[in-house]
Structure 1
Amino acid sequence: MASPAAALLAVSLLVLWASPAQGGANDAEDCCLSVALTRIPGNIVRDFRYLHIQDGCRVPAVLFTTKRGRKLCAPPDQPWVNRIIHRLLRKSAKSKGHSS
């Protein structure tokens, strides 16, 4: 099992800088330059957004926002990415169902 320092280092290395979209709409959207090859721990993620090629991005990705506000780029076709997204959607649906 990896030490906490090694896990923190791995997550830190996964933080990939976003850049404005090349071409596309006037309102430049952040795009990922590459995606994480290592699994991102789902418990650090608070939000997500899809970044599509048709929106002007060169790399299709899921942009996760961590609880600390960092942006992590993940490949949209990976099962672990879909599990995190489904968990976030379930959590969002539950919170909307309880707020009245």
Structure 2
Amino acid sequence: MAPGVAPLLALSLLVLWTSSAPALGGANDAEDCCLSVTQRPIPRNIVKAFRYLLIKDGCRVPAVVFTTLRGHQLCAPPDQPWVERIIWRLKKSSAKSKRQSN
């Protein structure tokens, strides 16, 4: 394992564990909300999908939830440039694969 990957993996698992616990309070006690987000960039090459969980959805912490190739879900802040870059790359690769299948 490359140096620096183990701490990132440990942090990611911590975020995943806290994000899978039910949120306390909130508009609808949404169980699908993130309780915290990681400020450390997530490697682009391990992400396969994303979705937004926002305050308007009943969550206290706005987040982008990235799904990794191994199926883990990692919560990230939606306003960070590195998050926006990963989303842009995912949208671009999705559009490219749709063009190739037509």
Moved over 4 A (4+): none
Structure 1 residue 12 corresponds to structure 2 residue 22: no
How large is the Cα RMSD of the aligned pairs? 1.9
SS at match of 1:33: coil
Tell me how many residue pairs correspond in the alignment.
96
How does 1:37-56 map onto structure 2 within 5 Å?
37-56=39-58
Q: Which amino acid aligns with 2:86?
A: I
Identity of aligned residues (%): 58
Q: Structure 1 regions of 5+ residues with no counterpart? A: none
TM-score of the pair, normalised by structure 2: 0.83
**Hey, which of these two has a bigger chunk of helix by percent?**
2
Point out the structure with the larger strand share. Answer: 1
Contact 1:63–1:73 (8 Å) recurs in 2: yes
Which residue matches 1:59? 61
2:27 equivalent in structure 1: 23
Q: 1:81 aligns with which of 76, 80, 83?
A: 83
- Please state whether the residue corresponding to 1:54 is helix, strand or coil: helix
Task: Give CA deviations for 1:6-40 in whole Å, capped at 9, x if unaligned.
Answer: 31331331231323454338xx4511000001111
- TM-score between both structures, scaled by the size of structure 1: 0.84
